[in-house]
Structure 1
Amino acid sequence: MITEVAREHGLDVRINEVNETGWDFRVHLATARDGTRWVLREPRRAEVAERIGTEERLLAVLRPLLPVELPRWEVCAPDLIAYRRLAGEPLAAEDPITVAMPRLVVREHYLARLGEVIAALHEVPPAAVAATGIDVRGPERLRAEIRSQLADGGNALDLPRPLVSRWRRWLDDDRHWPDEGVPVHRDLSPNHTLVDGTGALTGLLDWADAGIDDPVNDFAAPLAAFGPDGLDRLLTAYRAAGGRAGETLREHVVELTAFRRTVSLGLHGLRTGQARFVDLARSRLAAASR
């Protein structure tokens, strides 16, 4: 049990809540005997455990550079990550069945700070974080990955021809694909953003997927959660904070988000044997092709 694992690392805690929605980690919210609230992250697979040290090193580099709070780990081991809960609460939680967020209406100061944080992250010199061991890739690798998934999905998911044509046009348009990658979080969904009682952004969680990649990666989850209007407001805040957003960035975000919520999700479901993800992807594909 996770409490026994925690005890081996010097933590005597009571589990209050378990979050099973993460693909890489099972997350336990716990309380120690002295009332201290802890977050325990339990890796699901051996390859996830192998990346734990990388995330710890990345947090150490980014903590003084970003205008929000990041976790400060007190246990970092192959079988457990543990840190004291940060101030604030997640803006929203994923649906455990659909792994989707409810469509949210957020206050302007949340989006203003999120845009500021993303801009600051994208301005961190790639060399400063590459040494941590994070995944280093550029837009061309993302482009090649999507092209490969599109080919695989055409057979495995019976993709509608209009969507295949649409995504091929997107892939072939050089205007969408920047020359170099930047540091990205890759999963800025509302359950990874902490807010205070006024709805202001105070912290960012779960940097396991961070890397050097196309900046578009940090806008896909916000679009899914906040809709087109929320994306427009976020991009405005990003530009105001110095973020470099070209004229095709919005369309790039829209296409990447649609692709990941359908083709990427469906292929993940097939690869991991989770039929619910395959069914959800196919239903979204059918709706998008109407």
Structure 2
Amino acid sequence: MIGDIHALLSRHLPHYEVRSLAESGRGLDNVVYEVNGELIVRHGRAADPEATRREAELLAVVAELSTLPVPEVVFIDPEAAVIAYAKLPGRSLDRHPVAEPARLAEPLGGFLSALHGAEPGTMLDLAPLDAYPAPTLLHDAELEYLDVAAHVPERHRPLIESFLGAAPPPEPTSPRFCHNDLGAEHLLADPASGELTGVIDWTDAAVTDPAHDFALIYRDLGPEVFERTLFHYDGRLDDAGRARVLFYARCALIEDLAYGLSTGPRHYADAALAHLAHTFA
């Protein structure tokens, strides 16, 4: 695969000298490579030329909307399912947490205000409508929990099992444009200053329930950062919205735990276990 990336770089950037090229991460849908410490090349596991073109168009629109830096496309190769963009500064919060996470709340609130404020009908030209029903999410979480229950500390199991046995919240009525995977692994920050420096991986962006974006902030950064982010948010999140934030956060934690204990990197499971107490409190 490294050879394929070399060939793509030669084709699209013929005068670009490749001094270093290494895999920097992989997920369910993509393998990511870093070139010369300045270029990110993301290779999709399945070729979908139209999806690659649409994502490049989406990133251009998001760059106009976002109050935080987002990836700037350098080139795309739709047939190879490759998109390359300039590397943003900073490190991901999942592996490099900042000393004062509460300082992240104001920029996150402004970012989500801008994102969720986009006209949904316009964004549907670039991002799909994601209306995955809550009962189905809960059923998926039940099945995943069966596979990982033995890895959950015994004191936490009753809380999880009580959640899985309860009714899901009512469905949302006002979908908005969302990042839709705003976990700590997709938020970059300067380790020294603690300032947010970018938001990456927009492959799951969709017109959906805004509570999805808040849910991963709650799961990964904690309830205090969630509440402070909401204070700086221009939109509205009522009691039903808050209930969905908790619901999505808990389903997402079980999903990451199962992923990290099976086919994914182990640090996903470690993070899920570390966040379990406040997510299910």
* Structure-1 separation of matches of 2:67 and 2:271: 36
Secondary structure at 2:239 match in 1: coil
* Structure-1 separation of matches of 2:35 and 2:119: 36
* Correspondence list, 1:176-255, <5 A: 177-195=171-189, 198-238=193-233, 242-255=234-247
How does the TM-score come out when normalised to structure 2?
Answer: 0.77
Q: How many residues align?
A: 266
The superposition leaves residues 108-167 of structure 1 with CA deviations (integer Å, 9 ceiling, x where unpaired) of: 2x32011111111111111111112x22123xx241431331453466556967634423
Secondary structure at 2:41 match in 1: strand
How does the TM-score come out when normalised to structure 1?
Answer: 0.75
Q: Identity rate of aligned residues, in percent?
A: 24
Partner of 1:77: 77
Contact 1:68 1:204 in 2 (8 A): yes
Partner of 2:46: 46
Q: Which of 251, 255, 261 is the equivalent residue of 1:259?
A: 251
In the alignment, structure 2 segments of 5+ residues that lack a partner are 151-156
Partner of 2:6: 3
The superposition leaves residues 44-101 of structure 1 with CA deviations (integer Å, 9 ceiling, x where unpaired) of: x115666222211211222212222222212111332112223x3134354xxxxxx7
Letter in 2 for 1:143: A
Partner of 2:154: none
In the alignment, structure 1 segments of 5+ residues that lack a partner are 95-100
Contact 1:122 1:182 in 2 (8 A): yes
Contact 2:100 2:194 in 1 (8 A): no
- Cα RMSD over matched residues? 3.6
Partner of 1:98: none
* Structure-1 separation of matches of 2:215 and 2:141: 18
* Structure-2 separation of matches of 1:281 and 1:206: 19
Secondary structure at 1:124 match in 2: coil
Partner of 2:122: 128
Deviation at 1:211, TM superposition (A): 0.6
Q: In the superposition, relative to structure 1, how do residues 74 and 277 fare at CA in structure 2: closer, same or farther (>3 Å)?
A: closer
The superposition leaves residues 227-247 of structure 1 with CA deviations (integer Å, 9 ceiling, x where unpaired) of: 222222122222xxx121113
Contact 2:258 2:269 in 1 (8 A): no
Q: In the superposition, relative to structure 1, how do residues 15 and 51 fare at CA in structure 2: closer, same or farther (>3 Å)?
A: farther
Secondary structure at 1:127 match in 2: helix
The superposition leaves residues 9-41 of structure 1 with CA deviations (integer Å, 9 ceiling, x where unpaired) of: 22432335532243322222222xxxx921211
Answer with 191-200 or 4-13: which moved more. 191-200
Contact 1:184 1:212 in 2 (8 A): yes
